[in-house]
Amino acid sequence: MSGLPLLRIVVDTNVVFEGLTKQGGASGLIVDAWLAGLMVVCVSNALAYEYDDVLSRKLSEERWSKLQPVLGQLLSVTQYTNIYFSWRPTSPDAGDDLVIDCAMNAGAILVTSNIQDFRSAKESLGLRVLTPVQFVSILASGEKP
């Protein structure tokens, strides 16, 4: 990258899950770019706990024991975001609201596979929401979104 500031993003739990559990694809590229420090990933305490909770519940105990250190690595290279303001309720899902709160407080782009779930926040709050494929395209181009 040519001296441009790194993009600031919040990665939704569905992207983390897919990136850690499926070979290839845009979500996997995002996890790789995250570990390589190619963008600034912002996470609140509540979102970090959600990553841990979802992965530990949805994966077998054996698979979780292999991926837990990787999640730890990801979280060690994040920028923790304090939640000073909340825009709740913006979404019917409280889990989505904590993602919205993190992205809004961090001034970051939200990367999610569930664009529909964040339509209200996009329209009412001006939250920038991208799919993993859209984000990877922007990251690969080196352009500012």
- Tens digits of pLDDT across the chain (145 residues): 456 689 999 999 999 999 999 988 999 999 999 999 999 999 999 999 999 999 999 999 999 999 999 999 999 999 999 999 887 766 667 778 999 999 999 999 999 999 988 998 889 899 999 999 999 999 998 776 6
* DSSP-derived secondary structure letter, 9: E
Is residue 2 assigned to a domain?
no
User: Model pTM greater than 0.75?
Assistant: yes
Q: What residues make up the domain containing 134?
A: 8-141
Indicate the number of domains in the chain.
1
Work out whether the CA dihedral 106, 109, 110, 111 comes out positive or negative.
Answer: negative
- CATH of residue 53's domain is 3.40.50.1010
Q: Is residue 3 part of a domain?
A: no
Considering the domain boundaries, does residue 84 fall inside one?
Answer: yes
Phi, psi of 80 (to 5 degrees): -75, 135
Cα 73 from Cα 109, distance rounded (Å): 21
As given in the structure block, the two tokens for residue 122 are 């996009």
